[in-house]
Chains A and B, each alone.
Chain A
Amino acid sequence: MSDQFQGIEPMVYQSQINVPYSWWAGDTATRFFVTLRDEKKITATKCGDCGKVLLPPRKICPRCFTENMEWVKVSDEGTVLSFAVARRPFAAIPADKKVPVIWGLIQLDGADTALLHYLDGLRPEDVSIGMRVTAVYSEARKGTIRDISHFKPVK
């Protein structure tokens, strides 16, 4: 490194930018979150053209480009398509989660896409692709995806 400077002291300017945002979920996602919060039900939209059940729900089918969508309820239970175990703490992990954190892609029964969420109530070495899991709801629900606390193995 010293050869890069030839005796010159490198000056570094430390800074941070704080930019607040308010993200509007939109009518479609809002309907999902209200149903989740008030009825503890997981819903999705089904495309009337291709028949695919999309979760997160879409206002428009991304493949068919149609608004011909209807609401359907999907199961609380599903299959783990893949997973990752984060072994080291970093900023993107919420404060209430302790490493190792297990992150799963869960295809709920009745849906054609996976939902990203936490797996908990099991050890990292006990997770496997294809295992069956079910939603555990949070006690205090605020209308966000974390109204589902996590998914746990089906006994």
Chain B
Amino acid sequence: MAKRVAIVGTGQTFHKSHRPDVNGQELINEAVLRALQDADLKMKDIDAIVIGNMDHFEGINYVDCWSVDGSGGTMKPIIKLTTGGTTGCTVAIGGYHLVGSGMFDRVLIIGWEKNSESDTTGAITTAFDPIWDRLVFAGAISGLAAEAQAYMARYGASDRDGARVSVRDRKHAMNNPHAQLRKEVSLEEVLASPMLADPIHLLDVCPRTDGACAVIMASEDVAEKICPKPDWIWGTAARHSYSYLGDADYGRLTSMREGSQELWKKAGIKEPRKELDVVEMYQPYSFGGLIWIEDMGLVGPGEAPQYIWDGNTDMSGELPINPSGGVISCNPIGATGLIRCAEAAMQVMGKAEGRQVPDVNFAFSSGFGGCWWTDMILHGKNKPK
């Protein structure tokens, strides 16, 4: 019964630091209407809905029910999936499973966040163990700082290498009207911005954003009737490992390594650096853009800084990374992983406008959660065998 699955439409809001002109349902609705319009479908054509956001970020925990006015979920099968930072990618994987099962032909997938409505640090703290980690915990950014410190100590990388990644993503955002922050910065400006947690400067990290994203997936029975050139899902992988902060291998993202190996194997990819055409990764801070592409197997351990300095991941390079401007330019957390998925789909479908990479055959998108977990999707132009 298993069906091949394709993305046939995507929609996003124009993401902003805060959107007091709409409530959550109305924000969701903007993305849903754009996705329906992109696929030329009506709400009545949708068989089921998957929705997700960050627990505690808006203080509304029955989001699947509360949001039906905006999502179109009234009297439809609707489920909520939430996995922290990876939520946006997890909802896409959940939608893929629903369509792939053969039980639903057209599934609407929604990720959203009104990050301006909450105390981010307070909400994120609820992800950590109350007895062991919270009493000796120094905030989400400190975990990332520990990862960056360990990577630098192992491979001799510097804060300039991290800053180069931030310069790239912020430059790419200039091509994306949906990105929140669209301002080019220089290497010197990144390094001169306030130090948050060594070696991470303010301009190395993502902002807080209000935004929503919607993606429509369809089974092989109907996909090409809806969209002549859909984005085919070649595979997905998810790896979650966290119990306590001290369990992880700092300086390496084990979940990315194991998940991407599974993905390359599923799709028969031998050399991801040469076979992928574009990458949209959930990279909330610059050093992740170094460490994690090594764990993906794009380059060897310690080789990412030179690869990036040589321009290989810029728009005109061998493998453009984050043409959208990435998460450093825009981070409505529950939507962020799904925005990566939508951006990768747009690249495959040739709909990425000013940020289009030419001739995309394979695209990769991912989600990341602050407790060292990773979800990922391989997108392709051709129908999988």
Contacts and interface: CB of A to CB of B under 8 A. Distances in A.
B82 interface: no
Of B136, B147, B251, most buried by chain A (CB within 10 Å of CB) is B136
B139 A105 contact: no
A128 B91 CA distance: 40
B243 interface: yes
Chain A CB within 10 Å — which of B134, B147, B246 has the most? B246
B59 interface: yes
Contacts, number: 114
A153 interface: no
A115 B246 contact: yes
A124 B141 CA distance: 16
Contact of A17 (B59, B150, B198): B59
Interface stretch (B119-127, B229-237, B347-355): B119-127
Given A92-B137, A93-B138, A94-B135, A116 B130 contact: no
Contact of B197 (A62, A87, A91, A92): A87
A91 B121 contact: yes
Contacts of B196: 87-88
Contacts of B153: 82, 128-130
A91 B122 contact: yes
B186 interface: no
Contacts of A116: 132-133, 136-137, 244-246
A86 B244 contact: no
A146 B132 CA distance: 9
A2 B215 CA distance: 30
Interface of A: 4-5, 8, 10, 12, 15, 17, 21, 23, 25, 29, 55-56, 62, 81-88, 90-94, 101, 103, 105-106, 113-118, 124, 128-130, 144-146
Interface of B: 19-21, 59, 119, 121-122, 125, 130-139, 141-143, 145-147, 149-150, 153, 195-198, 243-247, 250-251
